[in-house]
Amino acid sequence: MTDPSAASADADSSARDIELDTAALRVLAHPLRLNVLSLLRERGPSTASRIAGELGINPGAASYHLRRLAAGGLIVEEPGRGTGRERWWRSAHRQSIHDPAAASGAEREAGLGYTHAVALAAADRLRRSAQELPRIPGEWLDGITYSDFLLRLTPADVHRMRAEIFEVIERYRADGGESEGAVPVALQLQAFPVPGTARPPAGDE
């Protein structure tokens, strides 16, 4: 699983990916914190006041979440910018990676909180995208999609399909980004059992 923003739009940010450990998963178990990190990866370095304006939150809240992200090693200060009263921050990594299947113990428990936050952050991003829809240029309206499919699959089917889709995404990431008119595009991929249909057998809950 990757977080809502896989690719960085900042040429100076590191291209390294980070495998989230238990501590980092706990730092990111907050949808607003994920949105702050996503914004830095998409738009490049920014300040608490700029982030607050972009996300519609209090500057104090933006500063708090930036400090938490910095303490977790997920963002760093942008050298040579800002003053004592205005600090500039950038993402320390291109994307965050978490594989629930490989996690165990405390990391698996922390991963549940992270996964919950990822889902909430994705829902918030979708809401903000819908609000901007009336102002989207026509050439983009021909390509964007808000699709919903109902499939009957086993856990193994979902795992295989996810791997195939991720291969396509990696191909576009490697080939794209240099074309004229290219902008950061958020591709949301969600695959989950219809609520109420996949529950443990009686007695195992």
Is pLDDT above 80 for 166? yes
Q: SS3 for 68-134, per residue?
A: HHHHCCCEEECCCCCCCCCCCEEECCCEEECCHHHCCHHHHHHHHHHHHHHHHHHHHHHHHHHHHHH
Phi, psi of 97 (to 5 degrees): -125, 135
Q: What CA–CA distance (Å, rounded) separates 22 from 27?
A: 9
Is pLDDT above 70 for 117? yes
Tell me how long the chain is: 205
Percent of the chain residues topping a pLDDT of 90: 59
Phi, psi of 77 (to 5 degrees): -70, 145
Average pLDDT over residues 51-68: 95
Average pLDDT, the chain: 87
Note the pTM of the prediction, 2 decimals: 0.79
DSSP states along 4-54 = S--S---TTS---EEE--HHHHHHT-SHHHHHHHHHHHHH-SB-HHHHHHH
What pLDDT sits at residue 172? 87
53-62, 75-84, 123-132, 138-147: segment of lowest average pLDDT: 75-84
32-41, 101-110, 144-153, 169-178: segment of lowest average pLDDT: 169-178
The answer to whether the CB of 31 falls within 8 A of the CB of 121 is: yes
